[in-house]
Amino acid sequence: MTPTGSALTAGVIGQPIGHSLSPLMMSRWIQDAGLDAIYTPYIATPHMFAPIVSALFRAGLKGLNVTLPHKTEALRLSHRISDRAERIGAANLLTSIDGEVHADNTDAIGFISALRTSGHDPAAKNALVLGAGGAARAIVDGLIEAGVSGLTICNRSRARAESMRADLAPNAHIGTWDERNDALLEADIVVNATSLGLSDQPELGMDWSQAKSSAIIADSVYVPLETGFLRTASEAGLTTVDGLGMLIEQGRPSFTAFFGQEAPETTDIRSLLIQALATRS
């Protein structure tokens, strides 16, 4: 339906923001649900993030998805913070409730839901996570909550990995970056949460011959859809899960938070987003 003057409003905020697929995804869900609503992208520099968020909520915005580089700052301007966002140290979802800003993080849920939707349950599995930044923190939190039996973290900065272990996974094993291939031997799930393997970054140098033949190899990003990390794993005959599922699944609880109902299933949203990515390449 065509939005009216009383339409519910929500959006996504970041810098840059033009690459985001969230407006396409959310707008299609709005259309399929027959809602009188609008979902809009907003660009904000770090200096202007807080005043823009404040102005949008004063104007009646229901909520915002938050992307880089504002996920940490989103916590600082919130009145209420979920336990999950507090643990992860970042928020990707802000909502306005009774004049207060509430912060949450749906990235952890999104990653685990993407695995399960692909037919892979991490419960009672050994996981290897590469990286210790914001994406890794959300993924580790999700894996712990999902009940992995073992967790190894390999990062180029050991201090950062140890900090993440202290905050989220006290029983995790910390491996050096040079030990990442040895860690493949016991891993049922391997997740790249670093920037390495992107189209403009060097490869991770993974020796997939050391991986279990049954291992699931996942990436946290979706541009490109098949990262170098996933491509080399696939060439080695391993099962891969790209980052697009995480985007979709983290968006579902956001849609519910904004509009009070679940995202409809009438459109093959993954195919829609893949088509959009193809036009950009």
In this structure, the answer to whether residues 86 and 132 fall within a common structural domain is no
User: How does pLDDT run across 123-163, given as a tens digit for each residue?
Assistant: 999 999 999 999 999 999 999 999 999 999 999 999 999 99
Copy the structure tokens of residue 107. Answer: 């990235």
User: How does pLDDT run across 56-83, given as a tens digit for each residue?
Assistant: 999 999 999 999 999 999 999 999 999 9
Q: Is residue 2 part of a domain?
A: no
In this structure, the answer to whether residues 176 and 81 fall within a common structural domain is no
Beta-strand runs (E) in the chain:
8-14, 37-43, 63-66, 80-81, 93-97, 100-104, 126-130, 150-154, 173-175, 189-192, 216-219, 239-241
Strand order in the sheet with 216-219: 173-175, 150-154, 126-130, 189-192, 216-219, 239-241
Q: Is residue 72 part of a domain?
A: yes
Distance CA(51)–CA(167), nearest Å, equals 30
The mean predicted confidence, pLDDT, of the chain is 95
The bridge status of strand 63-66 relative to strand 93-97 is: antiparallel
Q: With cut-offs at 50, 70 and 90, classify the pLDDT of residue 3.
A: confident
In this structure, the answer to whether residues 228 and 118 fall within a common structural domain is yes
In this structure, the answer to whether residues 92 and 143 fall within a common structural domain is no
- Looking at 62, 71, 125, 212, which residue is catalytic? 71
Distance CA(38)–CA(35), nearest Å, equals 9
Q: In b/e form, how buried is each residue of 89-105, taking b as 16+ CB within 10 angstroms?
A: bbbbbbbbeeeebbbbb
In this structure, the answer to whether residues 83 and 132 fall within a common structural domain is no
In this structure, the answer to whether residues 201 and 258 fall within a common structural domain is no
Total structural domains in the chain? Answer: 2
pLDDT of residue 54 exceeding 90: yes
In this structure, the answer to whether residues 184 and 68 fall within a common structural domain is no
| 197-200-205 Cα angle (round to 5) | 30
Q: At 187, which amino acid appears?
A: A
In this structure, the answer to whether residues 84 and 207 fall within a common structural domain is no
How much is the average pLDDT of 20-40?
Answer: 98
Burial group, residue 143, by CB count within 10 angstroms (0-12, 13-18, 19+): buried
DSSP assignment letter at 113: H
* Lowest pLDDT segment from 31-45, 55-69, 157-171, 188-202: 188-202
Distance CA(83)–CA(8), nearest Å, equals 27
In this structure, the answer to whether residues 207 and 271 fall within a common structural domain is no
In this structure, the answer to whether residues 149 and 214 fall within a common structural domain is yes
Residue 62 designated active-site: no
In this structure, the answer to whether residues 125 and 203 fall within a common structural domain is yes
How much is the average pLDDT of 222-237?
Answer: 94
Q: With cut-offs at 50, 70 and 90, classify the pLDDT of residue 249.
A: very high
pLDDT of residue 197 exceeding 80: no
| 276-107-81 Cα angle (round to 5) | 130
In this structure, the answer to whether residues 174 and 65 fall within a common structural domain is no
Copy the structure tokens of residue 177. Answer: 């970056």
Distance CA(79)–CA(62), nearest Å, equals 15
Residue 90: give the domain boundaries.
Answer: 8-105+247-280
Q: Is residue 143 part of a domain?
A: yes
Q: Give the three-state DSSP class for 38.
A: strand
Strand order in the sheet with 63-66: 37-43, 8-14, 63-66, 93-97, 100-104, 80-81
CATH number at 115 reads 3.40.50.720
